[in-house]
Structure 1
């Protein structure tokens, strides 16, 4: 993959990869499960994410303050989100900031080597 892709092309390719990764056979085989998890972790700044495809629910474990108290405990919240279309949900997590573009570029490089 070229290193000088425009941000718009990178976003477009990420959206295409997500759409492809959400087809029925990919979901059933969990082939792209890690892709979906890292996209959700990045978007929600989450420590842990689980996707329950059977019930169309995403469980996200989010650290609220980024730090820990004196005893090393973090302020966390568990969020449960329902979805009707996993592809649509993941597509809405794609953002065009420079930091995200770099992240997406690495993902695209990884998956282009896999194909």
Structure 2
């Protein structure tokens, strides 16, 4: 993933996907899952709820990663409830994109899931 051409392509595809998924008529349950996945990744949130009408994002941000295991039921995890306002959902989600290798691999998976295309095939 260190290839700058691949990095650029992944980020461009993510931005295109966000643009397509953020228009009022395109907000399907599948795209809502995409939006929540981006926010969970960026904010390390355990729970994300997006109010598309009132432009609000409510989430519980995990404060201590060592006590959080997404594979098990966590009874006591320190979280901070957060309520954010956004003006433009697409711009807000694009600002959440990171360029580190772990994030790029995550985005490549999202692209494959939401476009049914493998990013390695797109780059060729």
Unaligned ranges ≥5, structure 2: 68-74, 118-124
Q: Does 1:51 align with 2:69?
A: no
CA offset at residue 12 of structure 1?
A: 0.6
CA-atom RMSD, angstroms? Answer: 1.5
Q: For residues 36-69 of structure 1, what are the alpha-carbon distances to aligned partners after superposition, in whole Å with 9 as ceiling and x for unaligned?
A: 000000000110000011111000101111244x
SS for the counterpart of 2:87 is coil
| Structure richer in helix, relative to its length | 2
The normalised TM-score by structure 1 is 0.85
Question: Size of the alignment, in residue pairs?
Answer: 106
TM-score, with length taken from structure 2: 0.79
Structure 1's unaligned 5+ residue stretches are none
4+ long deviations beyond 2 Å = none
Partners of 1:10 and 1:63 in 2: how far apart?
27
Give the distance between the partners of 1:19 and 1:66, measured in 2 at CA.
31
